[in-house]
Amino acid sequence: MRWGLAGRLRGKDPRLQVGIDRYLMTPSETAELRARASTAKGDPVRQAPTVRLERLGATGEPAPEAIRTSEMSPMSDAPGIWQLSLNGLSEGSWRITTLEANPELKSVSETRDIIVRDLNGLEGLELGGDLSNLARLAAAGGHQAGTMDQCDTIVKDLAGRLKPRAQEHRETVRLWNNYFALLFVVGLLGVEWVLRKRRGLA
């Protein structure tokens, strides 16, 4: 969903539409911020939008010492579209607010949040498999890891290391829970009754 919405220009006011190409990044990466600003008549504005970056503290409020302001640059091949490269951000949560310098748009702004994490949080950013780390974990347990074409070999190796284990299991079966056993007993009683009658026994 993030990938599908990334970079899409959107906003609560049609006069200012903002998009950012990523919402998660590492400190060494760069995020591209774009904005389309226009007047109420739809004409592109000439004043460069201002971007305010605020690093959020543990309570979610901006830290005063981590606020910086930059101006966006116009895109030569897209009139009315402005861009700004965001880099050098330290780890943490950042709030990016785009403001308009045009007097007609003083009250219009758009806010986006971005999270910056180091490589130790790479699992949340990149969901692809990491065969080297998987092989290291498997080797620590005395096993091996590989790709799907090596599946049969790995399974045979794992099966060869398994040791048989005997486990005692007891189960109580009641005679009356088995219809065949019940019919067999009733049949024996019937045969006994017939034999006793033939011999004149009670």
Identify the CA nearest to 124 among candidates 112, 136, 133, 116. Answer: 116
CATH-assigned architecture of domain 2-125 = Sandwich (2.60)
Q: Where in the chain are the domains? A: 2-125, 131-160
Structure tokens at 66: 């981590």
Rounded to whole angstroms, the Cα distance separating 116 from 143 reads 35
Distance CA 137, CA 102 (A): 57
Tokens of 56: 């959020």
pLDDT tens sequence for the chain (202 residues): 554 554 588 888 888 899 999 888 889 999 999 998 888 787 888 888 899 999 888 777 777 666 788 899 998 877 778 999 999 888 889 999 998 877 777 778 899 999 998 865 555 555 566 788 888 888 888 888 888 888 898 888 888 888 888 888 888 877 667 778 888 888 999 999 888 888 877 6
Q: In what order do the strands lie in the sheet with 50-56?
A: 24-25, 109-116, 92-99, 50-56, 62-71
